[in-house]
Structures are given as structure tokens and as C-alpha cells.
Chains A and B, each alone.
Chain A
Amino acid sequence: QLQLQESGPGLVKASETLSLTCIVSGGSISSSRYYWGWIRQPPGKGLEWIGSIYYGGSTYYNPSLRSRVTMSVDTSKNQFSLDLSSVTASDTAVYYCARQERATVITTGTGRLNWFDPWGQGTLVTVSS
């Protein structure tokens, strides 16, 4: 049974870089069927997709965060990571990692980012001034 676990500091200073890692267990991150994504949820608010990465290293970012987001994957450690730079108080949120289905377009073979399952338990990151 696949499990994901987020790890990283729970407190980050404003203007610094938030760094999180998602450790995948019970399955290989090197699957052609899936992407690996980050989603966040500010306290009391809704879900926001941050970005997704393929095991080969291709990345897809939310345009609203693209200038500050970097994702990477380490297949040898079966984990992937998120860096969010120049954080402000508005980046305070619970950050989730999740496996994301790669829906293949039959006619072209290209992949599309689809549903998320399973999710990690989430980790609260607070940005302090």
C-alpha cells in the first residue's frame, strides 16, 4: 500500500525559502503511470495546486507560483521535493504531497495531470516575520 510522508521545518522566516520533502514508501516513484504533486491549504481555506513532477524530472507549476517554485525528484531515495522561495505570511498553509495519475492521451501519447491519490497526512508550515 503506497504511503507518502511530508517532512521539513514547520517554521520558516519571511523572505527565506520553504523546503519540503515527500518520502514515498510501498511503491516506486519511477512509474510511468504517475506524476507526484504538491498541494497546499491555508488555514480555513481551500486547496491550491502548487505543482507536479514526473520521475524523469519534467515539472509542471501553477502559473501563480511558478516564479518561486522549484521541484525535484530523487529516484534513488524514492522521494521528491519542493522549494518555495521568498515566502510571506500568505504562504502559511498545510502542505500535502500526493501521487497524481498521468492520464495518457491515446492519439498523441502525451500525459495530462489528473486525480490525486493517495495523499500524505500534510505538514503545517508557518511563515514568521
Chain B
Amino acid sequence: QSALPQPASVSGSPGQSITISCTGTNSDVGGYNYVSWYQQHPGKAPKLLIYDVTNRPSGVSNRFSGSKSGNTASLTISGLQAEDEADYYCSSYTTGIYVVFGEGTKLTVL
């Protein structure tokens, strides 16, 4: 199975909000609430931002939020900060394949 489609890049100015989409099917994103999001800064390991579609791990800013509608999951970052500039990946459980990641989205803070 190919990676879940995500926009290759998004951008926003400090203080603005942006949303990154992750499009799947009813065999993955749409069929299960096992969607997670990761933030990766250059040269660093990914960091868990959102799990089970909407939940934030302890220590993750409430500026990060997750949602899902049908087969599309979304990550919203509000009040953009320079430190949010990074790559973002979604991931989902998927029938038969078990785990699939998104293609990744590069966020630029203007």
C-alpha cells in the first residue's frame, strides 16, 4: 500500500492557523480511530503530536489539534510559531498492512 496522501507543503505566518490533511480510505483512516500525527525537525527523530485522531500526549501544546471526517484526517496548528517549522506525518492502522504513514508535509513559517 502506498503512503497516505498529504500536501507536500503548507505555509503560514506567525499567529495564523494552518491545517494539514491526510487522505485515506475506509480500510485505514476512515475505518479506524487509530490515526496519529508526528512532528519531525531536521536531523531529529519524529515526535508524537496526536494519537487516536484527537488526543494529545502530555506535554504537547494545545495549539495542536486533530480531527477526522470520513476518510480524511486533519492536523490543525493554531497560533503558528517559528518553532513549528518542521515536517509533519500522519499514520494510520490499516487492514491487512497494519501500519501506513502519510507522505509528509513540510510546514514553512513565513
Contacts and interface: CB of A to CB of B under 8 A. Distances in A.
Interface string A112-124: 1111111111100
Interface residues of A, number: 24
A47 B46 contact: yes
A79 interface: no
B91 A116 contact: yes
B104 A115 contact: no
Given A46-B89, A101-B51, A103-B34, A52 B98 contact: yes
Interface string A81-95: 000000000000000
Contacts of A49: 91, 98-101
Contacts of A46: 3, 89, 101-104
A114 B103 contact: no
A48 B34 contact: no
B97 interface: yes
Majority DSSP secondary structure for residues of A touching B: strand
A35 to B, nearest CB: 10
Nearest to A117: B48
B45 A120 contact: yes
Interface of A: 37, 39, 46-49, 52, 60, 62-63, 96, 101, 103, 112-122
Listed from nearest, the 10 A-B pairs whose CB atoms lie closest are: A117-B48, A115-B36, A49-B99, A115-B51, A119-B45, A46-B104, A47-B101, A113-B98, A114-B34, A60-B98
27 contacts: A46-B101, A46-B102, A47-B46, A48-B101, A49-B91, A49-B98, A49-B100, A63-B1, A96-B45, A103-B93, A112-B34, A113-B99, A114-B34, A114-B36, A114-B51, A114-B52, A114-B93, A115-B34, A115-B36, A115-B51, A115-B91, A116-B91, A118-B48, A119-B46, A119-B47, A121-B45, A122-B45
